[in-house]
Amino acid sequence: EADIYQTPRYLVIGTGKKITLECSQTMGHDKMYWYQQDPGMELHLIHYSYGVNSTEKGDLSSESTVSRIRTEHFPLTLESARPSHTSQYLCASSAGQKLFFGSGTQLSVL
């Protein structure tokens, strides 16, 4: 099984707070992704990276930002959280086109 870790697993915060969702993988994969998923719905790509210092926006407009300073680390930051950001955030990495997902962060913004 793949080694990709997301923290925190659950996060409840107030509106206006700045938050960073962490994602790390130990497989040396160049490609990493952030997906957003609401309950029972499809996954929407919000950011992806093909390697260090490479980041791109995905298909779903997002107010979040990402960075890729190291191969293994791909954090996602929300500068000012809002209730509309409440969702599950899934991080993934890939070798070839096979995706390995972390366990996700369930974010609730009050």
Partner 1 sequence: GQQVMQIPQYQHVQEGEDFTTYCNSSTTLSNIQWYKQRPGGHPVFLIQLVKSGEVKKQKRLTFQFGEAKKNSSLHITATQTTDVGTYFCVKGSTLGRLYFGRGTQLTVWP
Q: What is the C-alpha separation between 18 and 55, in angstroms, rounded? A: 20
Integer Cα distance of 110 and 95 in angstroms? 37
Q: Is residue 72 a contact point for partner 1 (CB under 8 A)?
A: no
For the record, the structure tokens of 3 come out as: 């080694």
Tell me how far, at minimum, the Cβ of 103 lies from partner 1, in Å.
Answer: 6
Q: Which position among 40, 52, 57, 67 is part of the footprint of partner 1 (CB under 8 A)?
A: 40
* Interface with partner 1 (CB under 8 A), residue from 13, 20, 43, 67: 43
Indicate whether 11 belongs to the interface with partner 1 (CB under 8 A).
no
Q: Where does this chain bind partner 1 (CB under 8 A)?
A: 31, 33, 35, 40-43, 45, 48, 50, 59, 90, 94, 97-104
